[in-house]
Structure formats: C-alpha cells, structure tokens
Chain A
Amino acid sequence: MRKVHNVLKSQKLIKIALEYDEISNTIHSIKITGDFFLYPEDSLDKLETNLIDTKLEKNSLIQKIRESLDDSQAFGFDSESLTKAILGCLIH
C-alpha cells in the first residue's frame, strides 16, 4: 500500500488523500476534501466508499464518480476534474 496526496485547483480546491495498492493499481481508501459544494452533502461519503477497489485509470474513475453522484449536484468540481485530482496523486 502507498499513501499519496494531491491538490487540484478546479473551480474550487480539491484535496485528495489516497491510499492505493501498487500491485493491482486500485484504490484502498480515499478522502476528498475542499471548499466545494455538494448536495446532498452525504453523497461524498457514498462516493468515497464506492471508489474503493476502483482501478486508478481515467475511464474507470470517471464512470464510478458519475454513477456515485448521479443523484447529486456538485459545484466546484465535476467527474473529469475529480478524476484528474485523483490521478494527479500518482504523479507527485
């Protein structure tokens, strides 16, 4: 397991704390914080849970984020920017 962080300035600031499995390249745990808005607010917990075991590659992440936030409204980020923020953890 490896722990990494990233900060991405989208419309709002997105901060990612990620723990991932280097062998399977999947998410072990993720915490998403920032000054964005998301309605309803508990969608973020659902998203963080749903992202566990998701492969760290663009299409899988975008799809999982879209599915998880299907009934929610986010302001300050979208599925693409959140995916970019997550994958940015691997660059740093």
Chain B
Amino acid sequence: MNFKFNKIRVLETGKNTASWNMALDEVLMKGTTEVPVLRLYGWEPPAVSIGYFQRLNEEVNVKKCANLGIDVVRRITGGGAVLHDSELTYSFITKRYPQNIIDSYKLICDAIIIAINKFGFNAKFSPLNDIVVNGKKVSGNAQTRKKNILLQHGTILLNTDIEKMFSVLKVPPEKMRDKLITDVRQRVFGLDRTFEEVVIALREGFREKFHAILIDDKLSNKEEIETERVAKEKYSSDKWNFGR
C-alpha cells in the first residue's frame, strides 16, 4: 500500500518510566497536527505493560514486579501483557491512515519490516498485529483510534529472556510452566542488535516507507508539563492500572 507523508516529526525520547512513556503517547496523540509523529524509546526501569482489556492482577505478579523494581502499567491499546526489557518501543501517531484496521496495521508494520530486513532478515507481517521472522514473533503491535487520530505502538525484540518474562507474568500451574516456556522460546525471536542500531534502522524504515523527510525534534515545554501531569494523575494511579 502506498502512503506518503511529506514530513515525519521524530522524537527519540530515551528510556523512561512506564507511566511517563504511556503518558507521552497519550499527550502526543491529543496534540498531533497534520505532521505524523514517530517516537522511539525504551523503558527504565524495565516494565510490564498490559492491554487495555486485561486485568492487572490476573496477568501480572505485581508484588514480584515491585520486588524486582519492574514498573507496571496499563496501556490505552488492546493486546496482551509485554515485558519491556531487552527491546525497543516505537509509537507512530497520525491523522491520516487507512480506515480498514488490518490495512492500517499493515501499513505501519511495513515500515518496521523494512527496518528489520536491513539486518538481512526476511521479516513478514502476520495479521492482525505481529511481525515474524521465520515464523517467530519479533514485533508485537497495538493501536487505538481516538477523535480520528491513530496511535500505533509496538516493540521490537532485541533479546529474549523468557524465564524473566514468566517470572513476572502469571502463567498456568507449575507443571505447565516448563512446556509454556519451551513453546514461547520457539515462537519468539530477538534481533540480537543494539538499541542504537535498531533506532537507525527504524528511522530508515519509516523514511523509506512513507517517502518522508524526517524532522528531528524535542518535546515542547507544554508537552513535557502535560506528560508529567498525565503520568502522575493517570498512569501511576491504581484507578487506571487496576481499572478493569
């Protein structure tokens, strides 16, 4: 699918807390102009995010996360629980997008696929929301649409630490745990590249896919202040995180 943007605003916002990361996505979504935004970021400390329709206590061992210094947050997007550790997260926010949901996922995932394939892989889109290399998931993506603005965010796995993931996510009884870990290990794939290498590849992927000029930018004071407020009032609150 051909889709062209003249410019893309690029924000490399570094590694931040879970509440701040999710707050900034929301703030950017509310403030998006005709120029789409590509945000590239990480999580410090590591974090578990759950989907909008998930219940935190059902999915995550919250106490263990607290003991390990792992943040927890609920996203505004659907999908499953994700451990954000050895991975890079992107957000793409646009006012212009295909109305068909699968088409819109594919459009944005195409940019990620171009990026991944720059490392010599043969990544492919796996509907609805995954990207796979040799049938193994390397990227999970989720999107929401509010007031005709689309936000898609997703992760690109750099390395996989399945044991760590299962240590904080609630999984079936112990007798099934080993099999589940083996199954998941066979189904996921880390790029084994650095965060910085993948940032460069993603920038190229979006530039090529959308024939766009990338405009490097920083957050405005207003965006920073609003992000701090939303992080504190919404994404750090039990009301939101335990809201379902």
Q: Which chain A residues have a beta carbon within 8 Å of chain B's beta carbons? A: 12-13, 15, 31-41, 44, 73, 75-76
Q: For this complex, into which size category does the number of interface residues on chain B fall?
A: 10 to 19
Question: Which B residues touch A12, using CB under 8 A?
Answer: 80
Partner pick for B101 among A31, A34, A35, A73, CB 8 A cutoff: A73
Q: Are B128 and A35 in contact (CB under 8 A)?
A: no
B244 within 8 A of partner (CB)? yes
Partner pick for A35 among B76, B80, B145, CB 8 A cutoff = B80
Nearest-neighbour CB distance to chain A for B98, whole angstroms, equals 13
A33 and chain B: residue at smallest CB distance: B55
The B interface, classified by DSSP as helix, strand, loop or mixed, is loop
A31, A32, A36: the one within 8 Å of B78 (CB): A36
Residues from chain A with Cβ under 8 Å of B119 in the complex: none
Interchain Cβ contacts under 8 Å between A and B, 27 examples? A13-B80, A15-B58, A31-B244, A32-B53, A33-B53, A33-B58, A34-B53, A35-B53, A35-B54, A35-B78, A35-B79, A35-B80, A37-B78, A37-B128, A37-B142, A38-B53, A38-B78, A39-B101, A41-B53, A41-B76, A41-B78, A41-B144, A44-B53, A73-B101, A75-B101, A75-B128, A75-B129
Q: A33-B244, A37-B142, A40-B145 are in contact. Are A15 and B55 (CB under 8 A)?
A: yes
Minimal beta-carbon separation of B130 from chain A (angstroms): 12
Secondary structure class of chain A's binding surface, majority of residues: strand
> Closest chain A residue to B101 by CB distance?
A73
- Docked CA distance A37–B102 (Å): 12
Q: In chain B, what residue has the closest Cβ to A44?
A: B53
Check A34 against B128 for contact (C-beta < 8 Å).
Answer: no
List, in ascending order, chain B residues with CB within 8 A of A75's CB.
Answer: 78, 101, 128-129
**CB proximity of B132 to chain A, nearest CB, Å:** 16
Cross-chain contact A37 with B79 (CB below 8 angstroms): yes
Residues of B near A44 (CB, < 8 A) are 53
Q: Say yes or no: is B52 at the interface (Cβ < 8 Å to chain A).
A: yes
Q: Which of B52, B55, B77, B78 has the most CB of A within 10 A?
A: B78
Contact with A along B13-56 (1 / 0, CB 8 A): 00000000000000000000000000000000000000111110
Closest CB-CB distance, B100 to chain A, in whole Å? 9
Within 8 A of A (CB), among B64-99: 76-81
CA A4 to CA B79, docked complex, whole Å: 24
